[in-house]
Chain A
Amino acid sequence: GAVVSQHPSRVICKSGTSVKIECRSLDFQATTMFWYRQFPKQSLMLMATSNEGSKATYEQGVEKDKFLINHASLTLSTLTVTSAHPEDSSFYICSATRQGGWQETQYFGPGTRLLVL
């Protein structure tokens, strides 16, 4: 199998606080993990690509200082939304691949619903 977990599944926070979301590959080592954002009734938007042991690659328009990504091990990547504001409220979903190749299947986590008040 290829199981990916995310924690927390849902978080509500006050404006100005930081929120950390964890993405774990449970039964395989993930060289590369991806972070997506999805607004209601819309498709997934890639935010960044995270490779173990190196800096994340952010998509155009995604603020690096706002969305901090750390991929410290082959099974864990974290996304920290710093100084969250209501417009950051969204569904954040991660995915993982074994080798990191563009042709590989991405296995997705269950997602994290963030609501910033």
Chain B
Amino acid sequence: AQKVTQAQTEISVVEKEDVTLDCVYETRDTTYYLFWYKQPPSGELVFLIRRNSFDEQNEISGRYSWNFQKSTSSFNFTITASQVVDSAVYFCALSGGYSTLTFGKGTMLLVSP
């Protein structure tokens, strides 16, 4: 069975601080995909990144960066110089073994001015 754990329920930071959202996953599949989605207050889930299990390279996209470590089964997400517009719920998700997305419980990020 697949499982995604986002241990941080809520995080509060002040604008311009860096923040890391943790994601730990469990799967028996050797081939799997990891995702991050952002859900702002409006409700729509916005796709941020997809990473397959064979690609452990870290990725940077503007202020966003992702650290994938198979050794610790983690796929953490860092926002540098956070902004108020980053306030949202962030979901980490996993798909593998012909199963569709398994979501974590989400981390609510609140960025104060």
Nearest B residue to A110, CB-CB:
B44
B contact residues, range: 20 to 34
* Distance A29 CA – B45 CA, assembled complex (angstroms): 19
**In the complex, A109→B46 CA distance in Å?**
9
Q: Are B37 and A102 in contact (CB under 8 A)?
A: no
Q: Is the CB of A103 within 8 A of B43?
A: no
Give the nearest-CB partner of B100 in chain A: A102
Stretch at the interface among A38-46, A65-73, A80-88: A38-46
Do the beta carbons of A46 and B47 come within 8 Å of each other?
A: no
Cβ of A91 < 8 Å from any Cβ of B? yes
Contact call A42/B100, Cβ cutoff below 8 A: no
Tell me which residues across on chain A come within 8 A of B95, comparing CB atoms.
102-103
Residues on A facing B (Cβ under 8 Å)? 2, 34, 41-44, 46, 49, 91, 93, 95, 102-103, 105-111, 113
